[in-house]
Structure 1
Amino acid sequence: MNTRLPRVTPLTLKSKDALALSALLMKPRNAQACFVFAHGAGAGMTHPFMEDVAAKLYGHGIATLRFQFPFMEKGSKRPDTPAVAHAAIRLAVADARRRCRGMPIIAGGKSFGGRMTSQAQAEDPIEDVRGLAFVGFPLHPTGKPSITRAEHLAGIRIPMLFIQGTRDKLAEPVLLRQVCKGLRSRATSHLIDGADHGFHIPARSGRTDQNVVAEIALTISQWVERLES
């Protein structure tokens, strides 16, 4: 495990369409892969959860590129339309390919970021992306259990990792198992006992949120290793 303090490189991602987004690259020496890590609908790339997961992944030798969706860049509370979000994801992946040449590229993210990445991949496969990692996939709205939001996943032909809390009100475990079963060998799921959608865990569990973050990073790292083998 890499014990060096993570070095964070601020970036500005620019496209031909004048889209410009802030981003943060954390790239350890001899990194084994790069994870393009998109944030959720309620908080941006500098949210402590995003920072903590990226730092733990750095320790496992995995680079991360976090970026702001346009709505977050503008300070809006209304998430981008899928088309705008997909374009931002493709821009971030293209930048990761340039900065992490020769490394496997993993895409995905927290909640909204993961869902938008999966939609983009299903619509038109993103160049050079080897797998998708979802940290709290929002399978359905709170109190409205359904798997309709997962229908597009059937069109994805690369491996997918679902990391989900057992108390996540946006993804009932039984429904997530159903989705993963339908995706067969392309899907790997990892349930974190007691964690909610924000990956907070009750104090009575004897574990801490940092324990959960460490488990998330280790799970992604081990999954990446299997992808490479």
Structure 2
Amino acid sequence: MNFDVELPNGTAAVSAEWAEASGRGTVVVAHGAGAGMEHPFLVGFTGALNAAGFSTLRFNFPYREQGRRMPGPAAHAIATWRAAVAHARSLDPDAALWAAGKSYGGRMASMGVADGMSVDGLIYLGYPLHPPGRPEKLRADHLPAIAVPQLFIEGSNDPFIQPLSQFEQVLSTCADARVQWIEGGGHSFEVKGHKRAPEVVGASLAPLVVEFAAA
């Protein structure tokens, strides 16, 4: 499956994977900056959501389709998010819809929602608050403008949100934000001394999303 994205330099087709489930809603899922939609972490995450009754749509950003490793302009990613949400709504028009993303993918979703994209909630799988070791380079100015509920699933050892006191201060500026901590987890929720396959790690986060969506 694919869908089209209207970009300033023309139309781009991006790959997508739709899995229909039993009607609890739709979760649209974007990948992180360094891996595409077929990463085992996301496959495990969406598979567990499907088993819990949620339909899912995974998709690629245009730069991945073009074989590039580094993301393009944020405006291109936001346009892709808007197209992905519209495509998911066309597949199940009556479903509640949540936008979820690993790191970069979640941040781009949040920027889209701050700019008017309509979803029922946002789910961050490791929000990249700042580059590792650069807490002064915050990526949070737009978060207070978001009115829908936001779920931050975060590893307590993630270098993208250290110091944790700064991260908690950012959350306090949000209209409706909650955090679920993965104790000892890094940016991909790896825990030292507890080796698990990426698809298992991704699947383990799905119950937190199910709880959030039911609230």
Q: What TM-score results when the alignment is normalised by the length of structure 2?
A: 0.92
* Structure 1: runs of 5 or more not aligned: 1-10
Whether the 8 Å contact between 1:45 and 1:66 is mirrored in structure 2 is yes
**Superposed structure 1 runs of 4+ greater than 6 Å apart:** none
Q: Structure 1 residue 149 and structure 2 residue 125: aligned?
A: no
Whether the 8 Å contact between 2:5 and 2:14 is mirrored in structure 1 is no
1:159-181 CA-to-partner distances (Å, cap 9, x unmatched) read 10100001100112322221112
Q: Structure 1 residue 202 and structure 2 residue 192: aligned?
A: yes
Q: Among residues 15, 31, 36, which one is paired with 2:23 in the alignment? A: 31
Q: Letter of the aligned partner of 1:22 in structure 2? A: S
1:135 alignment counterpart: 125
The Cα RMSD (Å) is 1.7
1:30-82 CA-to-partner distances (Å, cap 9, x unmatched) read 22111110100000000011111111111111111110100000110120211
Whether the 8 Å contact between 2:42 and 2:202 is mirrored in structure 1 is no
- 1:19 is displaced (CA, Å) by 2.2
User: How many equivalent residue pairs?
Assistant: 210
Q: Structure 1 residue 71 and structure 2 residue 60: aligned?
A: no
Task: Give the whole-Å Cα distance in 2 for the aligned partners of 1:19 and 1:219.
Answer: 33
Q: Among residues 151, 170, 192, which one is paired with 1:161 in the alignment? A: 151
Q: Percent identity?
A: 36
2:209 alignment counterpart: 220
3-state SS of 2:152 partner:
strand
Greater RCO (Cα-Cα under 8 Å, separation 6 or more): 2
Task: Give the whole-Å Cα distance in 2 for the aligned partners of 1:31 and 1:199.
Answer: 29
1:175-195 CA-to-partner distances (Å, cap 9, x unmatched) read 2221112215x1011010111
Whether the 8 Å contact between 2:100 and 2:109 is mirrored in structure 1 is yes
